[in-house]
Amino acid sequence: MFKWKWLNSLRKSEQNESIIANEVFQRNIQYISVLSIFCIPINIFHIFLFYFNLNPQRDVEYLWRMGIILSHLILMIFFLMIAGFFFYFKRTGRPGKLFMQSLLYLVFVVAIVFAVSITTIDQLVTSAINPFLFVCIFIPMTILIRPVYSFSLFIIAYILFYFALGLTQTNTDVLLSNRVNGFSFVGVGLFLTLLMWNNAIRRYNQDRIIEKQREDLKNKNETLSVIAENLAIANATKDRFFSIIGHDLRGSFNGVLGFSELIELEYKEGSTKNLLEYIGFINSSARQAFLLLENLLLWANSQKGNLVYEPTEFSINNIILNIFSLLKLTAKTKKVSLILEANQDYIVFLDEKMIETIFRNLISNAIKFTNEDGEIKVSISKNENSIFISVKDNGIGMSPETIEKLFDVQTNISTKGTRGEKGSGLGLVLCKEFIEQNRGSIKVESVPNRGSNFIVSFPIQKS
């Protein structure tokens, strides 16, 4: 099992290739950028330290020190260039991934060549091969390269090390020992390369799995939140539905029954004094019950998704006049004037039934909240893109807090009219739904004790 886990990080797969192209690449960029910053002051320290200890009288030591100075100077210039390239890439994304990937391999090669050159120069005065050991250990831990490539590079590095060492080390025993030790260091470097590569690929794979699980969990939480919100709305809808049936609709029929009983009583007593007044109240209660029942049926169908948007061409002026005719008795009872302001006959391409429901509810509401001798004005106008219909009254108005709750079934609360008229609070919720289905919008302007203005707009559409 252990063997197969190691082989998985070496196999080519879409997941591994994606990790190499993204996470491994970004990790190498970050590490090399930091390495460049740290190496430059180390190079400067070596250059100054060896420069101030130059002794031209001692040829071998002078050659050794000059070799160290030149090697560190070249490496410092190289790292300055690398740091510049890498920081420019991190800020701009140029000159491109392929070029930057080539630079990563170049850093690996230059580090090995530098280690071999310093070790070779050191053989002039010492038998130590610490620079080569340091690079064999440090580079695999800094730069992640595919093991197959690093294996080739380390073999080339050892061949270079093997022959270069013989140029300056004259002691055959030391030379043999160093070559053997160098081979061991290369083996350690290869092992570290394989270890670091395997750990990185496995860790990045696990990170991706964790990130995917986190994203899935987030999506599930969002889905659950939506479901919970929908359940809350459904629950509020159900409560409102039963409240309307149990209270508002029942109240309307109680009014019809009560006044019909009074008519029966007066008729038996032979009196007709209040007959017309009672009949008016019955008519008003019956109309309220009808409007409420109509809204309930439309709302129920809307919640079930049974209402189909069916646009046709019709006159919006005629719709408003028909609603005026339907509600004239209710308006007359409160001595409320119904006025239509339109400079032409406006033809629209919308769902006629929905539009009728929208303005029947808006005008009915305006009558409900307008005092006696009040006025309700319906104005129609348009521009190049939209048609506007406003329903304005000079009634009791609303506060900003009330306006915020008008179109929400969960927070909308029915308010009694100026004569104590009851309502369900459902009409405006239905209006907003129907307006949105016709791609329109509604805006409310209101000042307490001065009146309200409901402005509905629809985009002009052609049949």
Within-domain flag for 264: no
Within-domain flag for 277: no
Round to whole Å and give the CA distance between 181 and 46: 25
Within-domain flag for 323: yes
Tally the domains of the chain.
Answer: 2
Residue pair 77/48 in contact by the 8 Å Cβ criterion: no
Residue pair 40/80 in contact by the 8 Å Cβ criterion: yes
Encoding tokens for residue 131?
């620079």
The pLDDT of residue 174 is 92
Residue pair 421/371 in contact by the 8 Å Cβ criterion: no
Task: Name the pLDDT band for 424 (thresholds 50, 70, 90).
Answer: low
Checking if the pLDDT of 244 tops 80, the result is no
Sign of torsion over alpha carbons 123, 125, 130, 135? negative
Same domain, 84 and 199: yes
Same domain, 9 and 118: yes
The pLDDT of residue 141 is 87
Within-domain flag for 113: yes
Within-domain flag for 274: no
Residue pair 175/169 in contact by the 8 Å Cβ criterion: yes
pTM of the entire predicted model? 0.52
The pLDDT of residue 73 is 92
The pLDDT of residue 247 is 47
The pLDDT of residue 387 is 94
What tens digit of pLDDT does each residue of 46-88 get?
999 988 887 766 688 888 889 899 999 998 998 888 888 888 8
What tens digit of pLDDT does each residue of 137-183 get?
988 888 888 888 888 989 999 999 999 999 998 899 999 999 999 99
| Closest listed residue to residue 311, CA positions, set 458, 438, 432 | 438
Checking if the pLDDT of 1 tops 60, the result is no
Same domain, 319 and 204: no
- 337-341, strands of its sheet edge to edge: 337-341, 375-382, 386-393, 451-459, 441-447
What tens digit of pLDDT does each residue of 352-364 get?
888 988 998 899 8
Beta-sheet pairing, 311-315 with 375-382: unpaired
**Domain boundary, last residue among 220, 253, 276:** 220
**Domain boundary, last residue among 194, 220, 246:** 220
Give the Å distances, CA to CA, from 95 to 29, 36, 92, 172, 429: 13, 19, 8, 48, 58
| Closest listed residue to residue 402, CA positions, set 347, 441, 447 | 447
**Domain boundary, last residue among 199, 220, 241:** 220
Same domain, 24 and 153: yes
Within-domain flag for 257: no
Structural domain span for residue 327: 307-459
The pLDDT of residue 2 is 46
**List of long-range contacts for 218-224, beta carbons under 8 Å, 24+ apart:** none
| Closest listed residue to residue 86, CA positions, set 32, 50, 127 | 32
Same domain, 211 and 72: yes
Within-domain flag for 284: no
Which CATH number does the domain housing residue 403 bear? 3.30.565.10
Encoding tokens for residue 342?
């339109």
Same domain, 206 and 314: no
Give the residue, 318 or 145, on which the prediction is more confident. Answer: 318
Give the residue, 11 or 109, on which the prediction is more confident. Answer: 109
Within-domain flag for 172: yes
